[in-house]
């Protein structure tokens, strides 16, 4: 019943010897950030942004609760995907089995919410007790008029990247290409693979695509509708945004449907322009390429003019960068466009390719963060004394503890940073963070001097 890992594209899963490289062959160590680091969470964050389907977790309530809405994806339509649905496996289910409970839960979800489809996620507990999720889903689907799709992704199968790949396999085998009607390719159409519309990132890119006459067939899976993903095989080009863990999906779509793919990023002025140009070239339309070259030049000039004031305030600031996925390397050039120097960089939940690109783009004097535990990160902050930290939400409280300005750029953020408009928003947010008056009211150094520690103890007493 489990996903056959030998069928997955695991070329990126080799152990890396480079200091600070992603530990893709290892489980998280105590003290390291473990959020989204199991196969279940990896599959969930890829599939959950599909807006008009129900996502049912067959496991203890904590599995559903801890992963609920942690991608921060946004929808322009249905909000069904944000409903937390679980079978809530209890002790009796462990003893007697949970298949009957799963069947009843699927029927209840279908009756109450009328989804386009139901994704059912296996977890460690449901898999260990031997529940046949595949069979239950097949049997119930025969009674219903909607697809019921099992996602066999118990956390013990591996890390987040394995879960991403499993989700890609599920989409390829069970969803993409199942739409009824013509198989004809749609001219000048693309799929954005690995674009999850975090904080509305996708909406910042859509105007540029529309202005150039490029049709978005679907994003996989940000703000996506189930029927659009079923027709994803009709696109003329796949654009792999994030992450390389979905490379297996674009490779298989190239083999089965003849859809070529390119890689790109919409973070920062340079990367946004290069991605739009690469799309135009790959679509092999001379008029489109000519329009794109003129368009990106105009947008670059407009954007740089708008952010010039922010760049003056941020120039020569020193930052620590710690993130994952495409942002591992694209944020290096984005910060450089604002005149910010990177003192140290590190990554989690990234592929070795992402890590290598980050190393190549950073200044040779920048330090690679090897110890990603809280203690290791605090040590780097104490040594480097940065002006700001650009990282994910898990690092926020470490930054606050060290009285260092912090900007969240990962899935927990509330502002979109993709595209030209996203670059303006990013520059504004960085400026507000670094120049916030609150930093002038904080007293003491980090690490605290002995005298400060004694003062704190006296005040506590």
pLDDT over threshold 70, residue 438: yes
Output the average pLDDT for the chain: 86
Higher pLDDT: 414 or 26? It is 414
The two structure tokens encoding residue 339 = 């005149």
Q: What is the pLDDT of residues 270-279, one digit of tens each?
A: 999 999 999 9
Alpha-carbon torsion angle 81, 72, 331, 248, nearest 10: -30
Residue range 281-299: average pLDDT? 97
In this prediction, residue 197 carries a pLDDT of: 94
Q: What is the pLDDT of residue 67?
A: 75
Say yes or no to pLDDT of 190 above 90: yes
**pLDDT at residue 16 is higher than 50:** no
What is the tens place of the pLDDT at every residue in 163-184?
Answer: 999 999 999 999 999 998 888 9
Residue 350's pLDDT is: 63
State the pLDDT at residue 19: 53
What integer pLDDT is reported at residue 244 of this predicted model? 62
Domains defined along the chain, listed by start: 5-174 (3.40.50.1980), 189-298 (3.40.50.12380), 307-441 (3.40.50.1980)
| Residue 457 pLDDT | 45
pLDDT, greater one: 35 or 361? 361
Residue 209, pLDDT > 80, answer yes
The least confident of 42-46, 301-305, 448-452 is: 448-452
pLDDT over 80 at 36, yes or no: no
Residue 453 has pLDDT above 70, yes or no: no
Amino acid 25: pLDDT: 41
Position 450 scores a pLDDT of 57
Task: Compute the average pLDDT of residues 46-73.
Answer: 89
pLDDT tens by residue, 324-369? 777 777 888 899 999 999 988 877 666 666 667 777 777 778 888 7
pLDDT of residue 220: 94
**pLDDT tens per residue across span 227-250:** 999 999 999 999 999 766 789 999
Asked if residues 393 and 408 have their Cβ atoms less than 8 Å apart, the reply is yes
Half-sphere exposure of 222 (CA within 13 A, CB side): 26
Residue 65 tokens read as: 């609760």
Q: What is the pLDDT of residues 248-272, one digit of tens each?
A: 999 999 999 999 999 999 999 999 9
Taking only the tens place, the pLDDT of each residue in 90-117 is 999 999 999 999 999 999 999 999 999 9
Confidence of residue 304 (pLDDT cuts 50, 70, 90): very high
> If you average pLDDT over residues 387-410, what whole number do you get?
88
């Amino acid at each position: 019943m489990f996903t056959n890992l030998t069928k997955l594209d695991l070329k990126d899963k080799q152990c890396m010897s480079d200091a600070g490289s992603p530990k893709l062959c290892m489980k998280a160590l105590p003290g390291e950030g473990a959020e989204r680091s199991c196969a279940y969470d990896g599959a969930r964050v890829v599939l959950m942004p599909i807006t008009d389907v129900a996502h049912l977790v067959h496991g203890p309530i904590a599995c559903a609760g801890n992963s609920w809405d942690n991608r921060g994806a946004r929808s322009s339509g249905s909000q069904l995907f944000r409903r937390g649905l679980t079978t809530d496996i209890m002790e009796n289910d462990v003893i007697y089995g949970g298949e009957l409970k799963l069947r009843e839960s699927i029927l209840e979800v279908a009756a109450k919410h009328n989804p386009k489809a139901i994704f059912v996620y296996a977890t460690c507990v449901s898999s260990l007790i031997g529940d046949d999720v595949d069979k239950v889903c097949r049997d119930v689907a025969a009674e219903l008029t909607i697809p019921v799709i099992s996602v066999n992704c118990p956390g013990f199968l591996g890390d987040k990247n394995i879960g991403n790949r499993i989700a890609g396999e599920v989409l390829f085998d069970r969803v993409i290409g199942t739409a009824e009607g013509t198989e004809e390719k749609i001219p000048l159409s693309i799929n954005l693979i690995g674009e999850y519309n975090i904080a509305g990132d996708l909406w910042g890119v859509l105007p540029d695509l529309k202005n150039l006459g490029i049709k978005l067939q679907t994003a996989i899976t940000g703000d996506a509708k189930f029927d659009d993903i079923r027709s994803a095989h009709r696109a003329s080009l796949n654009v792999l945004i994030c992450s390389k863990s979905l490379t297996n999906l674009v490779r298989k779509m190239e083999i089965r449907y003849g859809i070529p793919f390119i890689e790109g990023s919409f973070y920062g002025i340079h990367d946004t322009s290069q991605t739009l140009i690469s799309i135009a070239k790959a679509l092999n339309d001379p008029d489109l390429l000519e329009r794109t070259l003129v368009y990106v030049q105009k947008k670059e000039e407009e954007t740089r003019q708008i952010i010039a004031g922010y760049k003056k305030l941020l120039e020569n600031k020193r930052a620590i960068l710690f993130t994952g996925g495409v942002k591992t390397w694209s944020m290096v050039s984005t910060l450089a466009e604002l005149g910010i120097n990177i003192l140290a960089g590190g990554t989690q939940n990234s592929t070795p390719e992402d890590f290598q690109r980050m190393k190549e783009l950073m200044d040779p004097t920048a330090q690679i963060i090897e110890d990603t535990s809280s203690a290791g990160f605090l040590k780097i902050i104490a040594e480097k004394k940065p002006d700001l930290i650009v990282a994910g939400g898990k690092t926020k409280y470490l930054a606050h503890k060290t009285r260092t300005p912090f900007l969240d750029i990962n899935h927990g953020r509330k502002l979109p940073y993709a595209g030209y408009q996203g670059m303006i928003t990013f520059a504004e947010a960085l400026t507000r963070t670094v120049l916030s008056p609150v930093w002038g009211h904080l007293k003491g150094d980090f690490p605290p001097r002995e005298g400060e520690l004694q003062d704190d103890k006296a005040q506590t007493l």
